[in-house]
Structure formats: C-alpha cells, structure tokens
Amino acid sequence: MSNSLIKPRIERPSLSQIIEAKAPLFLVPVLMLIGLLAIGSGSTWLTLTAAGLAMGMMIFIMASGLTVIFGLMDVINFGHGAFISLGAFAGFTILGLLGGWIESPSIALNLGAVLLAVAFAMLVTGLAGYGFERLIVKPVYGQHLKQILVTMGGLVVTQQLIYVIWGPDEIVLARPAAFQGSFVVLGAAIEKYRVLAIVIGLALFVAMRLVLNRTRIGLLVRAGVQNGEMVEALGYPIKKLFLAVFMVGCALAGLGGVMWGMYQETISAHMGAEVMISVFIVVIIGGLGSIEGCFIGAMLVGLLTNYTGFLIPKLALVSTILLMGAVLMWRPQGLYPVVKAH
C-alpha cells in the first residue's frame, strides 16, 4: 500500500476536548473545596473529609468487583451483597480465633490479624464466587431479567446460610487495639482505622490499575469488556477469564465486607444488601465497567454523605441519589463508561 493513498495525521485535541475528558478528575477536589467553604471550620472539615475518604475507599473496594463483573461479563449481580456479608463473617471467624493478637498492643500482631482475616475472607468469598457463577450465573448469561431474579435468590440463600452458621443476631466486631482511637492532626480527630481503610483502598486502586494497564491479563480484560466474541476469535478462552474475574470480584466484596464490618463494628447477614444501594450508585456514577470512574464515584459518595450528614442531616440519605441524578444529567452513561449502553 503506497503512502500516497492515505495521508494520516495526528491532530492535538482541542482545549474543550481535554477539559471534557479530564473534568471528572476535578470533581473530588471541587467537592472538598465546597465542603470547606460550607463547613467553615478547618478541623471539622478535615475530620469529615478523612471520614468521607475512608468510607469512599471501602465502598470502592466493594464496588470495584461489581463494576468489573458487569463490564466484562455483562452480568448484573444483585447477589454481590451476599459476598460482602459472607466476607465479614469469615473475617470475624478468624479475628475470633486470633483474640490474643487483636488485643495485643503490638501493631505487627494487630496488622497480622487483620491481614489474615482479610486473606481468609477473600479466599472464602472467592471460592463461594466460583460456586455462585457455576450454579447461578452461568445458566443466565445474556439474560438480564433472569440474572436479577436468580442473583437476588442467591443473595437470600446466602443470607439464610449465614443465619445457619453464625446465627441470626448482629455480632459485634471489635477492631484490633492498634486501630482503635484517633490521631489528632491540625486540631482534627482522625480515626486510626479510617487511615488504614484509606491506605488499603488506595493500594487496591493502584494495584488494579497496574494489573489492568500493564499486564496481558489486564489487556484481555479490557478487550473482553469491549468485545468478548473477538477475544475468543483471537484464541483466548474468555469463559475461563469470566470465571476468574467473577471470583476476584467476589473476593474483593469479601475484602470490603471485612473492612466495612470493622468500620461499623457490627456485622449482620443483611449488611451487604444494605450497603449495596451505595455500591450501585457508585457503579452507575462511575460508568459501567470503569475502575477509575468507580473510584471517583466512591470518593464523591463518601465525602458527600459525611458533609451533608454534618450540614443538613435530613438530606444525607438522599444526597447520593441527587448526586447520581446530577452526574447522569451531565454524563448519561456515567463519568468514564467502559461499557456503552445502546
């Protein structure tokens, strides 16, 4: 093919295109600034901001698995909340066994207990995800209405199994000694556990971005989100990739469940279903299938919930729904949609 036939050129995007693409990145700083102006007190704002970011990180951990599952597999998993609850109870079991470690003043032992609880919760929920995908999700690929019905059924069954194993009552989940209490920074009280949640959430976000953008598996996932059939036609068994991603998504829900349980300090079979409203809002705000959008959406939801809870408590419950409405009016497919609605 001769060069004379086609004369390609690369044009720089216009300023408006750059602003349009980058605008979602400014939402979190803008919301923080608005919060500072509305609250007035710097120390109160710092406390609320740390609480909001920590809450956002935990919602991100729970929502990231759901958005990737939806993006890659086109599966609307209303049973995702079951893995959040299951993870919390699995983590609770390990923390119960390691009572000496969590009561110890040693940070290393405390952290070791949390890491073991997290690892066990992710293992249990990952394996449960395997069974869930094989038994419940696999027969209804491509059938959204049936997916909603059967995954809701799976949620109910899992909640009942939790009743059978751990009983129907709420259980108090004590945080390890090192993560109780607060730091005082610039006159603001910041709970130690929230710092841990922010660190784990950030680490997960960075790790997920690295895996998705720098590895062949990530490349396959990103390609599969767009055109699974073509990935198969290139010779890759995408159904195995689906299963692996589903298991990882469930394991992330389990991680989120442990973190959320220690944050709330009580766990119940219904905790997953209760937090799923925020999780779905975050996934929709972020754009289906998008890790970056999910991260920004989770931060917005966490911050807004805390700011409005302080400023206008009666508005706190609906503030995130109003936020979702505003974002969808601006970007009907969410901030960074990977899966485009047709």
Partner 1 sequence: MSDALLSLNGIHTHIGPYHILQGVDLEVPRGGVTVLLGRNGAGKTTTLRTIMGLWQASQGTIRFDGAAIQKETTPAIAQREIAFVPEDMGIFSDLTVHENMLLAARGGAIDEERLGWIFGLFPPLKTFWQSAAGNLSGGQKQMLAVARAIIEPRKLILIDEPTKGLAPAIINAMIAALKELKELKEMQTTILLVEQNFSMARAVGDTVAVMDDGRIVYSGDMAELAADTGLQERLMGLSLEAHQ
Least Cβ distance, residue 41 to partner 1 (angstroms): 44
Taking the least distance from each CB to partner 1, the nearer of 78 and 336 is 336
* 117/252 Cα distance (integer angstroms): 13
Taking the least distance from each CB to partner 1, the nearer of 100 and 142 is 142
Strand partners, 191: 182
Strand ranges in the chain using DSSP code E only, listed in sequence order? 171-172, 182-185, 188-191, 266-267
Distances 322 to 270, 317, 332 between C-alpha atoms, Å: 25, 10, 14
Count interface residues toward partner 1 (CB under 8 A). 26
12 binds partner 1 per the rule CB under 8 A = no
- Of 221, 327, 332, nearest to 282 by C-alpha is 327
Least Cβ distance, residue 11 to partner 1 (angstroms): 10
Taking the least distance from each CB to partner 1, the nearer of 192 and 222 is 222
Tell me the CB-side half-sphere exposure of residue 232, using CA atoms within 13 A. 9
Taking the least distance from each CB to partner 1, the nearer of 15 and 229 is 229
Taking the least distance from each CB to partner 1, the nearer of 206 and 233 is 233
* 133/203 Cα distance (integer angstroms): 27
Among 2, 314, 329, 342, binds partner 1 (CB under 8 A): 2
Taking the least distance from each CB to partner 1, the nearer of 233 and 328 is 233
Within residues 85-114, the interface with partner 1 by CB under 8 A covers none
Least Cβ distance, residue 74 to partner 1 (angstroms): 16
Q: Which amino acid is at 178?
A: A
Least Cβ distance, residue 80 to partner 1 (angstroms): 24
188 conformational bin, left if phi > 0, alpha if psi -120 to 50, beta if neither: beta
Least Cβ distance, residue 36 to partner 1 (angstroms): 36
141 binds partner 1 per the rule CB under 8 A = no
Taking the least distance from each CB to partner 1, the nearer of 240 and 314 is 240
* 295/31 Cα distance (integer angstroms): 15
Q: Which amino acid is at 150?
A: V
Q: What is the DSSP string of 222-246?
A: HHHHHHHHHHHHTT--HHHHHHHHH
Strand partners, 267: 171
Taking the least distance from each CB to partner 1, the nearer of 216 and 342 is 216
Within residues 310-339, the interface with partner 1 by CB under 8 A covers 338
Least Cβ distance, residue 307 to partner 1 (angstroms): 34
Least Cβ distance, residue 291 to partner 1 (angstroms): 13
Give me the torsion for CA of 177, 180, 185, 188, rounded to 10°.
Answer: -170
* 146/165 Cα distance (integer angstroms): 28
8 binds partner 1 per the rule CB under 8 A = yes
Taking residues 205 to 244 in sequence order and writing x for each that binds partner 1 by CB under 8 A, - otherwise, the string is: -----------x--xx-xx--xx-xxxxxxxxxx------
Q: Rule CB under 8 A: which residues touch partner 1?
A: 1-3, 5-6, 8-10, 216, 219-220, 222-223, 226-227, 229-238, 338
